[in-house]
Amino acid sequence: MVKNIIVFGAGGHAKTVIDTLEKQGLYRIAGLLDGGKPAGSVIYGYEVLGNEEWLADRAGEIEGAIVAIGDNWRRSQVADAIRSLAPDLPFVSAIHPAAHIARGARIGAGSVIMAGAVLGSDAELGEHGIMYPGASIDHDCRIGRFVSWAPRSVSGGNVTVGDFSAIAIGAVLIHSVTVGEHCVVGAGSTVIRSIPSNTVAFGTPAKPVREREHGERYL
């Protein structure tokens, strides 16, 4: 049976999530929630119903939710708000049929894996992760919660990435390196040595350029 779900977000990233959900074909999108858009607005044929408070009286009408917000920290804040308002509402994952999920791979609830992305054998993508088109995470990697992999970002095997970190477009992480929590690895960078938590790093080879605060925008 197709489940009714709600999508949190109505911006550019939400459009890509909607497309992924439609291609997946497992859920019926009942509408969108976004405090930054007027109620009644229509995105790709789906109405903006209100903000998170909409759930307070209607959680029983919905069978799942997904947070379609690209910024890792903001996505976590909205996920926490949903848990407070509707603690029994499950988060669903959107996995495009053109993605490749290898044997033994594990995907956390609320994650989005777009067309052409590859999650390797026994790799783990934590809750509310994002893999954009062409992103590739190789075998036995451990990727934390609320982590984003931009288009064409790739890793070797046995890589670890901490919670809330963002791997930007075209970045490469060689095998067995660690990127800490709340990091940004810049576009086109090559990580050949581990990066400490709360760091912005870029270049080839990637080097730390400054510290980063929790909740700071990743772009």
Domain ranges of the chain: 3-85, 94-211
Fold of 94-211: UDP N-Acetylglucosamine Acyltransferase; domain 1 (2.160.10)
Catalytic residues, which ones? 139
The answer to whether 126 touches 108, Cβ cutoff 8 Å, is yes
Q: What's residue 171's pLDDT? A: 98
Q: To the nearest whole percent, how much of the chain has pLDDT over 70?
A: 99
What sign does the CA torsion over 157, 142, 202, 100 have? Answer: positive
Please tell me whether 130 is known to bind a ligand: no
Phi, psi (degrees; rounded to nearest 5) at 124: -125, 125
CATH 3.40.50.1950 fits 3-85, yes or no: no
Q: What's residue 43's pLDDT? A: 94
Read off the pLDDT of residues 112-144 as tens digits, 9 standing for 90 and up. 999 999 999 999 999 999 999 999 999 999 999
Nearest to 166 by CA among 65, 21, 69: 69
Nearest to 190 by CA among 174, 213, 209, 167: 174
Whether 3-85 and 94-211 share one fold: the answer is no
The answer to whether 66 touches 8, Cβ cutoff 8 Å, is yes
* Position 1 pLDDT exceeds 80: no
pTM of the entire predicted model: 0.95
Q: How confident is the model at residue 215 (pLDDT cuts 50, 70, 90)?
A: confident
* Length of the chain (residues): 219
C-alpha pair distances (Å), 44 with each of 7, 17, 19, 30:
12, 11, 9, 12
Q: Across the chain, what does the average pLDDT equal?
A: 95
Q: What's residue 219's pLDDT? A: 66
Decide: helix, strand or coil at residue 81: helix
* Position 78 pLDDT exceeds 70: yes
Please tell me whether 169 is known to bind a ligand: yes
Q: Which residue has the higher pLDDT, 120 or 59?
A: 120
